[in-house]
Amino acid sequence: MDDYILEMRSITKTFPGVKALSDVSLAVRRGEVHAICGENGAGKSTLMKVLSGVYPAGTYDGEIVYDGEVQKFGGIRDSEHKGIVIIHQELALVPYLSIAENIFLGNERKGRGGLIDWNRANADAAALLREVGLQENPVVPVNTLGVGKQQLVEIAKAISKDVKLLILDEPTAALNDNDSAHLLDLLRRLRDRGITSIIISHKLNEIVAIAQHTTIIRDGKTVETLDMSAPDVDTDRIIRGMVGRDLESYYPERESHPGEEVLRVEGWTVKHPTQDRLVVDHADFNVRAGEVIGIAGLMGAGRTELAMSIFGRSYGRFEEGRVFVHGREVKARSVAEAIDHGIAYATEDRKKYGLNLIEDIRRNVSAAALSKLATRGWVNGNEETKVAEDSRRDMNIKAPSVSSIVGKLSGGNQQKVVLSKWLFTDPDVLILDEPTRGIDVGAKYEIYTIINKLVAAGKAVIVISSELPELLGICDRIYTLSAGRITGEQPVREATQESLMKLMTKERELAA
């Protein structure tokens, strides 16, 4: 008989008019790492909100049995009291407070007279940091740490609350490979200490590496729970469950016919906005019409900084370098000028930098080229709607109408809105920064298809990505970037993950 720490039975959650979860069951054994997979919008996060009490008992049907008792959580405090802690994708740390202050926030180490005993707090925090393998002084503010380390602080905070069931929502989405590996290692150690984890992730390799069981959710229903120790279970098997069909391949086929050179960058050098150091150091690269080039680099290599500084000097302080579009030198000192010269840049963080989340699809699509819809400063609203409708159809944006609020769409559909916005500027060069971050397998495939359509139409596309298989799957050529320098250029047929990784870490080895 298995010992289940958590059983969610026949959970059904309805929002007015829509069934978000329908008869979903989830059984998690004590002391395992249990993965939950599903496309964006499948209902994973809703299920976790039901579990943690964000949607309190009574607002859903079904029952939650935790630690052998039926639980009726009225809010997050109730579930945390029982040892269930959720760590969200977007971290909930206070940036200017120290590590120790964050760990014990709301749970302060008090001494005499109700004042905080800082010595005890810092000592306890240091012990927790050792446990999660983070070598930092507990008094430093968390905003000085990278995302990976902040995640570890979150986990230390969870441990301080005597966590029994740890839920991680997309924990490695923003992490580089090293940090991800470290985090997975930590989960294994926690498991050995008897802490159960539920991990929601799109990175299937990681799930295969760490989970004992995987529950797949599709369209608000449980599809199956896979025993990961079974011989035939691999990433393809999970994908089949998620999409309900076999993906022929991750990456759609494309014939490559590169044409004229569209963009050439020479000696591009950019300084950090406040510090006296080069973030991009004499970068040279080019891209031709009908070609996809990739830029590979570890976190901090300067990929986004390179792209944004070319895009109207949106990052850092320009030092030197020249940009040629169609062989003619252009000086794009502002975003508007860059757009005029046919350069478009779709950001890696669409919620923060890419979209106006409180506006509808229509107004987001037109945002970068409003003047194309205007005569003498007045916008033609009907024409705008038509443009948005066309985008919705061409891009297959799943939304009730173009007046749907963008903040309420799933990640994949939001990304399609971002792409629509930039395509409406009619660019020659499209720089896509992490175009598939945080979106599900099905939508990724759609994005790749869109990229293929663009190059077929003669556009030049630059893709920045942390996922090497993605670059290998869609690019013609790949540049590697390390510490702001281009360290290599490989045609895709010669490149392998290993060869790229070697180039991406070149600088560091030299320095070491």
Partner 1 sequence: MTRTVGPDPAQTQTNETPAEVPDAQQQALHSGTSDLRELLTRNLRQSGIYIAFFVVVVLFAILTGGTSLSPGNITNIVLQYSYVLVLAIGMVIVIIAGHIDLSVGSVVALTGSVSAVLVIRHGAPWWAGMLAAIGVGLLVGVWQGYWVAYVGIPAFIVTLAGMLIFRGLTLQVLDNISLSPFTPEYQKVSSGFLNGLIGGNGYDAFTLLIGALAVAGYAVSGFRTRVARIKYKQPVESFPLFIARVVVVAAVVMYFAWQLAHARGLPIVLIILGVLITLYGMITKRSVFGRQVYAIGGNLAAATLSGVKVKVVNFWIFVNMGFLASVAGIIYSSRSNGAQPAAGQNFELDAIAAAFIGGAAVTGGVGTVGGAMVGGLLVAVLSNGMQLQGVDQSIQSVIKGLILLLAVAFDVYNKRRAGSSR
Q: Which is nearer to partner 1, 429 or 455 (CB)?
A: 429
The window from 100-108, 373-381, 440-448, 457-465 that contacts partner 1 (CB under 8 A) reads: 373-381
CB 465 within 8 A of CB 294: yes
Q: Where in 345-364 is the site for partner 1 (CB under 8 A)?
A: 345, 347, 351-359, 363
Q: Which is nearer to partner 1, 421 or 459 (CB)?
A: 421
Bridge-partner residues for 168, per DSSP?
87, 199
Q: Which is nearer to partner 1, 104 or 424 (CB)?
A: 424
Following DSSP, what letter does each residue of 112-155 receive, concatenated?
GGG-B-HHHHHHHHHHHHHHHT----TTSBGGGS-HHHHHHHHH
Cα–Cα distance list, 437 to 170, 326, 359, 477 (Å): 11, 30, 22, 21
Q: Could you tell me the smallest distance in angstroms from the CB atom of residue 1 to partner 1?
A: 32
Binder among 300, 367, 442, 453 for partner 1 (CB under 8 A): 367
Separation of alpha carbons 461 and 134, rounded Å? 39
Q: Which is nearer to partner 1, 101 or 433 (CB)?
A: 433
- Residue 416 within binding range of partner 1, rule CB under 8 A: no
Enter the tokens of residue 337.
Answer: 């000028």
- Residue 208 within binding range of partner 1, rule CB under 8 A: no
* SS3 assignment for 440-486: CHHHHHHHHHHHHHHHHCCCEEEEECCCHHHHHHHCCEEEEEECCEE
- Residue 309 within binding range of partner 1, rule CB under 8 A: no
Separation of alpha carbons 79 and 121, rounded Å? 24
Q: Where in 264-293 is the site for partner 1 (CB under 8 A)?
A: none
Classify residue 274 by its DSSP letter.
S
The window from 44-52, 147-155, 319-327, 502-510 that contacts partner 1 (CB under 8 A) reads: 44-52
Q: Could you tell me the smallest distance in angstroms from the CB atom of residue 343 to partner 1?
A: 11
Q: Could you tell me the smallest distance in angstroms from the CB atom of residue 419 to partner 1?
A: 13
Q: Where in 420-459 is the site for partner 1 (CB under 8 A)?
A: 421
The count of chain residues that interact with partner 1, using the rule CB under 8 A, is 65
- Cβ neighbours, 10 Å, residue 201: 22
Residue 337 CB contacts under 8 Å (≥ 6 apart), including other chains: 312, 330, 331
**Closest CA relative to residue 411, chosen from 448, 438, 445, 451:** 438
Binder among 57, 76, 299, 374 for partner 1 (CB under 8 A): 374
- Residue 167 within binding range of partner 1, rule CB under 8 A: no
Q: Could you tell me the smallest distance in angstroms from the CB atom of residue 374 to partner 1?
A: 5
Separation of alpha carbons 346 and 184, rounded Å? 30
Cα–Cα distance list, 166 to 46, 162, 199, 458 (Å): 16, 10, 8, 48
Binder among 35, 37, 46, 283 for partner 1 (CB under 8 A): 46
Q: Could you tell me the smallest distance in angstroms from the CB atom of residue 407 to partner 1?
A: 4
Binder among 24, 238, 368, 500 for partner 1 (CB under 8 A): 368
**Closest CA relative to residue 462, chosen from 292, 297, 307:** 292
Helix (H) or strand (E) holding 156: helix 147-160
Q: Which is nearer to partner 1, 396 or 499 (CB)?
A: 396
The window from 10-18, 95-103, 272-280, 487-495 that contacts partner 1 (CB under 8 A) reads: 10-18
Q: Could you tell me the smallest distance in angstroms from the CB atom of residue 16 to partner 1?
A: 5
- Residue 382 within binding range of partner 1, rule CB under 8 A: yes
- Residue 399 within binding range of partner 1, rule CB under 8 A: yes
Binder among 405, 453, 501, 506 for partner 1 (CB under 8 A): 405
- Which stretches within 291-350 are classed as H helix? 303-310, 335-340
Separation of alpha carbons 424 and 362, rounded Å? 12
CA dihedral 8, 10, 11, 15 (to 10 degrees): 170
Q: Could you tell me the smallest distance in angstroms from the CB atom of residue 366 to partner 1?
A: 8
Q: Which residues bind partner 1 (CB under 8 A)?
A: 15-18, 20, 40-47, 49, 88-90, 220, 311-312, 314, 334-336, 338-339, 345, 347, 351-359, 363, 366-368, 370-371, 374, 377-379, 381-383, 385-386, 399-401, 403-405, 407-411, 414, 421
